[in-house]
Amino acid sequence: MPKWSMVIDLDKCVACQGCSIACRMENNTPAAPPDQAAMGREIRWNDVFPWPPNQAEPGEYPHVKTYYMTRPCQHCENPPCIKVCPVQATYKGEEGIVHQNYSRCIGCRFCTVACPYGVRYFNWYAPEWDPTMRQHLNPDRVESGEFVQEHTEGPIPRPKGVVEKCTFCVQRHDKALKKAAEEGRALRDSDYIPACVQTCTGKARYFGDMENPESTVSLLAQERRAFRLLEEVGTFPKVIYLREG
């Protein structure tokens, strides 16, 4: 059983925001209109921002060093979000991905508070697309249930009042799984990558199976530059960063 994991090399990342928008186009997150954006209600599952945020001083001129951070869901091995979810809308799959089932979510936002990384996004407003614009939405769906639509994940547009998050592109995963099943084999390390990894302009992102000691992500995770966000809180993220320089 693979453990999907991502490595992000901040030395190669150029903060272009390609990942943010690849994610948007793959997962149908809406562009927040100006009034909603002004309230900080943009939904970008993988956000890019200056670090530290909130205009904290990155040094005094001319000795200035600004850092930028790119942040998907950390897919913790020990995710605080699932513990607080009263309806089990969010759960960790066997392959380590932290899923979000929109059909079950009741929008209580416990998880958005519990998550120390701030990567869970609440739909404050019903997302809208102009009828023409709607045509580019990704039509893939991930669902189950025979009589009641019990389970929806993936890019299907979410209604107002549910929480959503990075899923490591679960639809791509399931598509690859389906293909592997058709070919009568198990899912392989190289069978799928999330949209952000595919588009990364600086080739700063790596994705693969952390259980496989030979995989690129496993090898990179051994680097001296490797660190995890908020390692001390015991969440054991499966997103590993490599320091700049």
Partner 1 sequence: MAKFTRRDFLKIGGSAAAAGAAATVINRTRGGTALAHPPSEFHFVAGGEETFVPTVCTLCPSGCGIVARVVDGRAVKLEGNPVHPINLGALCPKGQASLELLYNPDRIKGPMRRVGERGQGGWEPINWETALQMVTDKLQSLRANGKPERFAFLYGETRGQMRPLIERFTQAIGSPNAISHDSLNIEASKLAYRMTQGINDLLAYDLENTNYILSFGASLLEAGRFPQRMIAGLSYTRRSRPVRSKFVMIDPRQGVTGAKADEWIPIKPGTDAALAMGIAYVLISSNMYNKEFVENYTFGFEDFEDEQGNKHQGFRNYVLRNFDLKKASEITGIPSGTIARIAGEFATNPPAFAIVPHKGGLLNGSANGLYTAMAVHALNALLGNIDKHGGMLVQRYPACPGWPAMASDRLAEKGRQAERVDGAGTRFPLAQHAYQAVAERVLAGEPYPVETLFLYDANPVYECPGGANFIEAFQKIPFIVSFASFLDETAQYADLILPDHVFLERLQDDFVEGLGYTGVALRQPVVKPLYRTRNAADVLIDIAHRVGGPVAASFPWGDFEELLKYRLQDVGTDWDGLKKLGVWSVPPYEFTDWGAKGWTDVVGRDRQRAPRDGRFDFYSREMFCYLGDADESRLKELGISVTGDAVFMPHYEPVTLDGEEKEYPYHLNVITLMSIGPHSYNANLPTLQEISGMAALTTWDSWVEINPETAQELGIHHDDQVWVESAQGRVRTRARIMPGLRPDVINLPYNQGHTAIGHWAKDRGVHGLDLMKSHTEPLTGLATFTNTRVKIYRA
C-beta of 125: minimal distance to partner 1 in Å? 14
**Least Å distance between CB 225 and partner 1?**
10
234 binds partner 1 (CB under 8 A): no
- Name which of 149 and 190 has its Cβ closer to partner 1: 149
Nearest to 112 by CA among 142, 140, 84: 84
Q: Which of 66, 188, 236, 243 binds partner 1 (CB under 8 A)?
A: 66
Of 49-57, 113-121, 207-215, 230-238: span binding partner 1 (CB under 8 A): 49-57
Cβ atoms 68, 47 nearer than 8 A:
no
Vertex 161 angle, CA 54 and 145, to 5°? 130
133 phi/psi in degrees, rounded to 5: -65, -30
Q: Which is nearer to partner 1, 85 or 239 (CB)?
A: 85
Among positions 95-114, residues that touch partner 1 (CB under 8 A) are 95, 99, 101, 103-104, 106
Residue 159: partners with Cβ closer than 8 Å, 6 or more residues away? 102, 123, 126
Nearest to partner 1 of 50, 116 (CB atom): 50
Q: How many residues bind partner 1 (CB under 8 A)?
A: 89
Q: Contact, 96 vs 164, CB < 8 A?
A: no
Binding-site string for partner 1 from residue 3 to residue 42, where x marks contact by CB under 8 A and - marks none: ------x-xx-xxxxx-xxx-xxx----xxxx--xx---x
12 neighbors 204 (Cβ within 8 angstroms): yes
Write the interaction track for partner 1 spanning residues 161-190; mark x where CB under 8 A is met and - where it is not: ----------x--xx-xx------------
One-letter amino acid of 1:
M
Q: Which residues of 109-136 are buried (b: 16+ CB within 10 A; e: fewer)?
A: ebbbebbbbebbbbbeeebeeeeeeeee
Q: Does 226 bind partner 1 (CB under 8 A)?
A: no
Question: Would you say 18 or 215 has its CB closer to partner 1?
Answer: 18
> Contact 55/66 with Cβ under 8 angstroms?
no
Site for partner 1 in 194-213 (CB under 8 A): 195, 198-204
Smallest distance from the beta carbon of 239 to partner 1, in angstroms?
Answer: 18
> Do the Cβ atoms of 228 and 72 come closer than 8 Å?
no
